[in-house]
Structure 1
Amino acid sequence: MDKPPLLVLVGPTAVGKTKLSLSIAKAWNGEILSGDSMQVYKGMDIGTAKIRPEEMEGIPHHFIDIVRPDQTFNTADFQRRARETIAEIASRGKLPFVVGGTGLYIESLVYGFEFSEGGADEAFRREQQAFLEAHGELALHARLREIDPASADRLHPNDHRRVIRALEVAHLTGIPQSEHLARQRRESPYRLCLLGLAMEREELYRRIEERVDQMMAEGFLDEVKRLLDEGYGRELPAMQGLGYKELSACLAGELGLEEAVALLKRNTRRFAKRQLSWFRHMREIHWVEAGSGKNFSKQMLEIDAIIAGKINR
């Protein structure tokens, strides 16, 4: 049976995936699935750099605004729902096109990961949460590094939910989560074309700083205040996302606004570095250089040739 085609564009935050994805989708009759773990949440718009309906240029977008911030949505949920959506898009003769920066979401989908990491242990999770509250995120992260250094390298200390999950997997199965991932079948169920967008680090960091300033000018602080006022507490995984965590601390009087913004810029730079590290380890990615000095038309010709060679084979 012939594998269905799947086009994927990955890259770090602020690299320019959104603009490029619209041009590619129009050229290849595609529909876009967001592969961003934060854009699924309703009402979290500015801080996730969510594309506005009027900016979509008529291209259908999926996996944006599908759950409330207090609802759980994990990698397995994304994989299951994305598989269904990809099949539906392909049945209409359109090209499914995943665009995003959440490495585990993308990799689980394109390589068909199986999620059988031993279920759950709520008591163990509560123990780890209590340890976090008593000793802090660095101590919790150090626990993970002792038993699973590869996962510790992949996960930031402030990603409490995933750090606790990695500890839980090792606790339940006796095998580090990183080893579970390494054992996964690496053959894609799709006729896959993986594109990666990258740029010089200095320019990327400049874009990140400009994006944070733009978010603040657009009312990011008001967005966070509204979410808190609506009852979405700081402890929720969604509210631990980049920017929401720092600005929630500011609104609670724990950080000054300047300090919170500086921290957000630093954390976003570090996040982009981790994204690049993740994607650099994925095989089969065709990397395309972006940046202010690049010719967009030439870039599109290069991309079209890559897609034609993979999707039309």
Structure 2
Amino acid sequence: MRQQNGLVMIVGPTAVGKTKLGVELAAAFQGEVISADSMQIYRGMDIGTAKITPEEMKGVPHWGIDIVDPDTPFSVANYRKLAEQWLEDIWRRGRLPFLVGGTGLYIRALTEEYHFVEFAGDPEFRKELEEAARVNGQEFLHERLRKVDPVTAGRLHPNDLRRIIRALEIYEYTGKRMSNVPPSKGATRFPTLKIGLTMQDRQLLYERINRRVDQMLAKGLVDEVQWLLANGIHSKLNSMQAIGYKEIIDYLEGRIPLAEAVEQIKRGSRRYAKRQLSWFRRDPNIRWFAVDRIAWNELYGACYRLVQEFQHQLANRVEIKEDGGSTS
């Protein structure tokens, strides 16, 4: 039975168990996994990103992992362009894609009508702006933005230096004001089943995050960061500002002791999990499961049935369309 192109989405905070569920369901439905993790795209950054291993993949094809070097600029627009190609390839072969991860902006960009300004940025111009802010203060750049794009300046705080610089870059090199970019509509681009994993007891989630950080250290996170630095990956790159990497760099460069670096990683990861939950909670269409309130077999069984029902709905959409009726 043919089916309309659709997507299963598995989201939630870090360390909640998304990877395992995604692999198991993809294996059961002859699917393939697309990673929605903004750090697992980088080659050589394995331990600090909790990157899935070949053994953990269990033969399920994975996309979006190890696709660029850490010193290669990569944006959410780059991700959507590549992910659309992966989706088309998976659909063309009649398989079901599973989008698994916790980077909300990546997920939103792929699954919703999301607009981008097609401009990669200019590192030299950005450095000039950063230096201007350092010498003259952040208000100076905010006022500069107000002169060319008062709408964007009005909604950005003067301390939001990163977005102010981005808006100035866009205007400088494209002639477009960021305020003129049409807002995202939020409409789903294709049929999507949304599954969310969480933990009702927030403290249990934080304990799981802490254990994961300890495991990263035991697996050699410090050695991984040393290797990256020794192989020309500069400590100031965006990729190296990720949680787990910037703190170890501070330790290696003598600014803080290792114990403090580890505590900062744990605290930063817990805060990141809170932000992830806040982001995904805004979507009323996510089917949530509290993994601390349900046994694994029950969780897997419930999600299996959801995917099975979703596939039937996709097949019925095609049948209706081929009969000449409405697909809505």
Query: Alpha-carbon deviations, 1:112-161, whole Å to 9, x = none?
Result: 31213777566762344326766999xx99x99984469x9xxxx8xx86
Q: Is the 8 A contact 2:115 2:181 kept in 1?
A: no
Following superposition of structure 1 onto structure 2, how do residues 32-181 of structure 1 map, counting pairs within 5 Å?
32-116=33-117, 120=121, 125-130=126-131, 147-148=154-155, 164-165=165-166, 174-175=177-178
Q: Is the 8 A contact 2:32 2:61 kept in 1?
A: yes
After TM superposition, the score normalised by the length of structure 2 is 0.81
Cα distance in 1 for partners of 2:89, 2:24 equals 22
Is 1:310 the counterpart of 2:310? The answer is yes
Deviation at 1:63, TM superposition (A): 1.1
Change in 2 beyond 3 A, CA 1:63/1:121: closer
Q: Is the 8 A contact 1:22 1:57 kept in 2?
A: yes
Cα distance in 2 for partners of 1:25, 1:146 equals 45
Cα distance in 2 for partners of 1:310, 1:32 equals 17
- Which residue of structure 2 aligns with residue 260 of structure 1? 261
Q: Is the 8 A contact 1:3 1:190 kept in 2?
A: no
- Which residue of structure 2 aligns with residue 187 of structure 1? 187
- Which residue of structure 2 aligns with residue 202 of structure 1? 203
User: Would you say how many aligned residue pairs link Structure 1 and Structure 2?
Assistant: 299
Change in 2 beyond 3 A, CA 1:133/1:209: farther
- Which residue of structure 1 aligns with residue 252 of structure 2? 251
Q: Is the 8 A contact 1:41 1:68 kept in 2?
A: yes
Change in 2 beyond 3 A, CA 1:148/1:250: farther
Please give the secondary structure, in 1, of the residue aligned with 2:196: strand
Deviation at 1:308, TM superposition (A): 3.2
- Which residue of structure 2 aligns with residue 18 of structure 1? 19
Alignment-mate amino acid for residue 307 of structure 1: V
Deviation at 1:175, TM superposition (A): 5.0
Query: Alpha-carbon deviations, 1:44-84, whole Å to 9, x = none?
Result: 00000001112211111111111111111111111011111
Cα distance in 2 for partners of 1:9, 1:246 equals 29
Alignment-mate amino acid for residue 312 of structure 2: N
- Which residue of structure 2 aligns with residue 288 of structure 1? 289
Deviation at 1:23, TM superposition (A): 1.3
Cα distance in 1 for partners of 2:303, 2:133 equals 45
Q: Is the 8 A contact 2:15 2:212 kept in 1?
A: yes
Please give the secondary structure, in 2, of the residue aligned with 1:8: strand
Change in 2 beyond 3 A, CA 1:147/1:247: farther
Deviation at 1:267, TM superposition (A): 0.7
Instruction: Give % identity.
Output: 43
Change in 2 beyond 3 A, CA 1:114/1:146: closer
The worse-fitting range, judged by mean Cα deviation, of 275-284 and 164-173 is: 164-173
Alignment-mate amino acid for residue 206 of structure 1: E
Deviation at 1:242, TM superposition (A): 1.0
Change in 2 beyond 3 A, CA 1:205/1:94: same
- Which residue of structure 2 aligns with residue 299 of structure 1? 299
Deviation at 1:285, TM superposition (A): 1.3
